[in-house]
Amino acid sequence: MKAIRTALLAFFFTTTISFLWAYDLYLPDQVEQGNVLRAIVYPAGNAQEVSLELLTPEGKRAVAAHGFLVRTVRDVSTWVVLAGVPSTAQSGTYAVHLSVTDSSEVVELNGSVEVAPRSFVHEDIALNDSMSTLRSEQNARKAREARELANLLAQFDPEAVYQEGSYEIPVPQARESAFFGDRRRYLYAQGGSAGGIHFGLDLAVPTGTEVAAGAPGKVVFASRRLLTGNTIVVENLPGVFSLYYHLHSIRVSPGTLVHPDTVIGTVGATGLVTGPHLHWEIRASEVPVEPKSLLDRRLVDRHEIFRIIMQEPEG
Distance of alpha carbon 200 from alpha carbon 135, whole angstroms? 18
pTM: 0.92
Q: How far is CA 135 from the centre of its chain?
A: 25
Q: Per residue of the chain (315 residues), what is the pLDDT tens digit?
A: 666 644 333 333 333 334 456 899 999 999 999 999 999 999 998 899 999 999 999 999 999 999 999 999 989 999 999 999 999 999 999 999 999 998 778 999 999 999 999 999 999 999 999 999 999 998 999 999 999 999 999 999 999 999 999 999 999 989 999 999 999 999 999 899 999 999 999 999 999 999 999 999 999 999 999 999 999 999 999 999 999 999 999 999 999 999 999 999 999 999 999 999 999 999 999 999 999 999 999 999 999 999 999 987 665
For 202-225, b/e burial (b = at least 16 CB within 10 A) is bbbbebebebbbbbbbbbbbbeeb
122-284: CATH architecture: Distorted Sandwich (2.70)
- Classified by CATH at the fold level, domain 2-118 comes out as Immunoglobulin-like (2.60.40)
- The segment(s) of the chain belonging to CATH 2.60.40.1220 are 2-118
Confidence at residue 10, expressed as pLDDT on a 0 to 100 scale: 33
Confidence at residue 20, expressed as pLDDT on a 0 to 100 scale: 55
Distance of alpha carbon 159 from alpha carbon 114, whole angstroms? 30
- The segment(s) of the chain belonging to CATH 2.70.70.10 are 122-284
DSSP classification of residue 276: S
Q: How far is CA 106 from the centre of its chain?
A: 26
